[in-house]
Chains A and B, each alone.
Chain A
């Protein structure tokens, strides 16, 4: 590790300092990766340890427990009811009854089919009297998978609740043994709006998130290991089953072609990923710097009607993005208003191919995104700009710094410091920015080598729009889409983690003013 003392560091020229920073950064990468892996291993170790501890605790509680506790192992809530905590006990018991009923009536059935995802597929029969062909629908792989996953979740929830029940018994026993009184039901109710208020508040939102976000994501991850697509939709044309890592192989191989295209999935993935990263980079940073610039321009001393300028820009946020993007997209069409205007003025002879050529389309999309994004960025940066202490600028001016130097040394570092995390979330958000691309171009112009049947992957397609086309196109390759989704997630997560860990180092560097 290269170490400089402060004096020597200040002696270095600017260029050397820059090189030094890069060298330090690169030097740190292997150490960082190593640290990350170490953290992961520690996490796993802690997890296993925790499970072991829990198991041990359960055993110990049973051994040390009185008859009320031991009975609670089978009849949940019994211990609580027997000790006078009616409310808690009743809730536990109710949960157990519901769970057992569910497993008997439905859960067992679904779980039994989870390995095969259905045994009997659909068939067609001919009715000679009526002269019609009617389908016979049997198992539904999709439903089997869905409800099995739900059942598994339910089982996990039950185990968790059962564990809590045991713990409660243990704690209650201890409290009684030491002579104190247990909380009554009334106390419980009161604590729900007081020190346990967070549980009350979080109950509903978390339930919603678990059912409507966690469950679908988990389900889609599982789909990546099946062959669920348009020709195997699990019900009307064929069942689908587990295929292990086949989809990953297809995705990452260089030979299997995209559906309908002539280049491999991995080549298409590479192309689309590259464009997605470029797009996210430009979309985030052009908006950021230009928005900051506009905010500074409006903020400058001597500019009147500040509110008017801000209001006009903010108007763009008010209009639903849907309308403005669709309309602006049409404005740039071959027979749209922009071309019409330019031709009427005589500045061009033929219509400019805004959406017809790949690079034109890409640049246009970035430009229009600037139009969408600047007002929002302007708002944010205005707020922060106003917080920068003015005397910093004064002292800089006295020292002879011009506007550009003031910007570089004071404004920019401060802004980056405060909005670092925001930039990161903005970058990853832009990587998944479906609306702008879909409404403006729909991914056009088409990339013929990569096109998917009836989906036409294009040069402006992001990973998310490509995903959308795969799932809603004619081939409906949900399995491939899930694989891509997982890869997207990994890409975004890696970028976020890396950059997030990078931020503190930037912070520390710039803090010395």
Chain B
């Protein structure tokens, strides 16, 4: 074997890992700095910032808005994406290709354009910006991923499975509730987690569709433009750890369920 690339590759990889995590570690550390200003090195440490941001009304309310938006948009995205996947799993031909193109369209548009288009559309209909509008926008962005994830699982399902259930006396309602949905459960769970996290981290759509109450990324953006304090590092670290933990949990859960059965 050739020695040069084999030795260089791990080094390159671990450099990349350092590049990924170093800023995050620095940010987490900054949250412990006992000062009102961002600066290094950190001479005095405190847990005060971590405690105070969790009492910051504005931040808490932004997190709450983000959570609401995440739940609403996920619900809508699943409610639309699930029947859509069923339709795609059953249809063939050019009509299907057109529909798929229309579905994945939002994933190929620059987010800012799609956010503004929705903003104008809602304005045209006389609808307000705010939580509902953001949720709508997030759902539009999430549906393509929901469809792809569910469709992948659906394609892995033997078509005989539904026929076997029918053959044993199950009508279509029972086929869906007892066979298809349980079979899709890992993909549904994965899609839900994906939507929640996607919604929670989104900035552009929330920014253009938001009303008076900002979501967390929008609030953070606004505060960063006015100046930095270690409290922002603290809350960012908390959010970062929470969403990463959730993401890893989902990943693990899905992997185990897909393999186990």
Q: Do A and B come from one complex?
A: no
